[in-house]
Amino acid sequence: MHAVVPQAVMWWTEFRFNVGYLRDDVGDRQGFAVLGIPRVQFRPAGGSSKQGRKASFLSSMEIVDAHIHLYPGTEVESLAWCAEGHPLHGQHSVEDYLEATKDLCTVSSHKLRGFIFIETDRKSHLETEAGWDEPLRELDWIRRVADGRPRPGEGHTSQHAHMCLGVVLWAPLPSGAEAMQRYMDRVQARAGMMLPLVKGFRYLVQDKPPGTMLTASFVDSLRWMGRSGFAFDLGVDARSGGIWQLEEAIEMIERAHDGLPNDKKVTVVINHMCKPDMRSRDQDGNPATEPFTAWKTHMARLASFSNVYMKLSGGFSETDPLPSAGEQGDWGSQVRDDLVKRTREWSGSWLGEMLTAFGPRRLLFGSDWCVCNVGGGGNGVSWMNWWSVVDGFAKDNLTEEDQANLWSDNALRAYRCAR
């Protein structure tokens, strides 16, 4: 282990800080703790960055999109779920993402600062370390984005590098803490100077057998992540998988946090509102009582844990699909306004219950791009549609300061990113 900060890493962190991407308390255990590197603190010249943010966010709020997926066309075959003919088959690049978000500046004062990249469920297995190859290949890909060193045709340039604020990689959590450390050694060897951007790990349990997240090895992996300062992105599915997944998630967090001081408890960032059954409605158009009540009860229990955050994301996958972009017309049309209003009505009860449970400092905005394109109207409109739903909810229910928390600050806090 290193006794001092390696010069190359120190240069990289200083550079990222100077251009505004590395948080002033980057030493916050994350990343560097695994390397044995002591905490390093940076302070912006001229005083507190928080004071500057408080004075400026009222006129223009930054957006940190806490959940997006990217993959190059040359690596689509490595995705476990994306066979030829799938609506998302083909490249989904930073340039495609920026095309999807380009109308933001024309309809609001919001400014897109950047995103958290979430692993894309590449083909993997746990039998041997050879099963880690494709997820590590994904690390190579997102490193090219973060380093600003694209291969020809990948759809990003050096000017896009600053947008990658954090990375959540796949990891073999069911294999236990020792395997996690070996995997982290592989990540460290391949990440290079991008290593501080690795903020957490995800192993999707939404399609796994009951009991997967309750094994001793899975819980040990979570406790290792807590000690090392990495977040865990939790993907469960109440609608398609069943409410039992939320029950197991509650027990998993109880075990992972048991007996630990708060600063050693793994931060859990829950994806997509736990994928509730937003399609079942009564004759008056309100959420069906049974699935809504069960989901609401489990939200309160999940929110009772410290270090647990919830993403307002993935709504279009759980509601009736919106018309395709060609049927919607241009942004600002009456058709679009009606669609946004209808979607907001569908989502209002669910979003309101999450605000009640988690409060305004533990909710994160996430678009779930490019998955939101399926059900959200297509790449030309889906990101803006979901932003509009969340924006309407935020303006109706949050103070301006709490809107800033939702749009950016909570994500930066949860993932220990640049301020």
Tell whether 22 and 171 lie within a shared domain: no
Burial bucket for residue 133 (CB in 10 Å: 0-12, 13-18, 19+): middle
pLDDT band at 379 (very low <50, low <70, confident <90, very high): confident
Per-residue model confidence (pLDDT) at position 348: 73
> Is residue 196 domain-resident?
yes
Domain span holding position 8: 1-43
Q: Using DSSP bridges, classify how beta strands 268-270 and 198-202 pair: parallel, antiparallel or unpaired.
A: unpaired
At residue 94 the predicted structure's pLDDT band, cuts being 50, 70 and 90, is very high
In a domain, 51, yes or no: no
39 lies in the same domain as 147: no
Indicate whether 340 and 192 sit together in one domain: yes
Q: What is the pLDDT of residue 44?
A: 30
Q: Compute the distance between CA of residue 73 and CA of residue 377 in angstroms, rounded to an integer.
A: 22
The Cα–Cα gap between 240 and 60 comes to 38
Classify 12 as helix, strand or coil.
helix
| pLDDT at 325 exceeding the cut of 50 | yes
Looking at the structure, tell me whether residues 69 and 19 fall in a common domain. no
Measure CA 219 to chain center: 21
Co-location of 22 and 104 in the same domain? no
Listed in sequence order, the residues at least 6 apart from 58 whose beta carbon sits closer than 8 Å to its beta carbon are 400
**pLDDT at residue 310, rounded to an integer:** 98
Tell me which amino acid residue 214 is.
Answer: L
Residue 240, domain member (yes or no) = yes
The region of weakest confidence among 108-112, 249-253, 359-363, 392-396 is 392-396
Query: Structurally, how many domains does the chain consist of?
Result: 2
- Which one-letter DSSP state was computed for residue 83? -
52 within domain boundaries: no
Please state, rounded to an integer, the average pLDDT across all residues of the chain: 85
What pLDDT, on the 0 to 100 scale, is given for residue 330?
52
Classify residue 209: in a domain, yes or no: yes
- The answer to whether residues 16 and 96 belong to one domain is no
Task: State percent of the chain over pLDDT 90.
Answer: 69
Q: How crowded is residue 260: how many other Cβ atoms within 10 Å of its Cβ?
A: 14
Do 37 and 65 have their domain in common?
Answer: no
Asked if pLDDT for residue 335 goes beyond 60, the answer is no
Between these two residues, 381 and 71, which has the higher pLDDT value? 71
- Which residues, in sequence order, are CB contacts of 242 under 8 Å at separation 6+? none
Note the pLDDT of residue 208.
Answer: 97
Residue 33's pLDDT band, with cuts at 50, 70 and 90, is very low
- Alpha carbon distance 134, 121 (integer Å): 9
CB 143 within 8 A of CB 194: yes
DSSP label of 71: B
Q: Is the same domain home to 406 and 320?
A: yes
CATH number assigned to the domain comprising residue 220:
3.20.20.140
For residue 286, name the pLDDT band (cuts at 50, 70, 90).
confident
* Sequence-ordered strand ranges (E) for 69-155: 111-118
pLDDT at 378: 83
Alpha-carbon distance of 397 to 352, in angstroms, equals 8
Average pLDDT over residues 268-276: 96
Predicted confidence band at 371 (pLDDT cuts at 50, 70, 90)?
Answer: very high
Co-location of 157 and 276 in the same domain: yes
Domain assignment present for 50: no
* pLDDT at residue 338 in the model: 62
Cα separation, 32 vs 370, in Å, equals 31
Q: What is the pLDDT of residue 398?
A: 95
Whether 3 and 142 map to the same domain: the answer is: no
Same domain? 87 vs 8: no
Q: Which residues pair with 360 in a beta bridge?
A: none
Average pLDDT for 92-105: 96
**Contact between 90 and 82 (Cβ < 8 Å):** no
Confidence of residue 241 (pLDDT cuts 50, 70, 90): very high
Give yes or no: residues 2 and 138 share one domain: no
> Does the pLDDT of residue 217 top 50, yes or no?
yes
Q: In the predicted model, what is the mean pLDDT of residues 179-208?
A: 97
For the record, the structure tokens of 86 come out as 């799938």
Q: Is 49 a member of any domain?
A: no
Q: What is the pLDDT of residue 380?
A: 81
What band does 327 get if pLDDT is binned at 50, 70 and 90? Answer: low
Q: What is the pLDDT of residue 51?
A: 39
Task: For 72-87, write each residue's pLDDT tens digit.
Answer: 999 999 999 999 999 9
DSSP state of 151: P
Residue 65 lies inside a defined structural domain of this protein:
yes
Section 329-357 average pLDDT: 72
* Closest CA relative to residue 194, chosen from 153, 141, 157, 231: 141
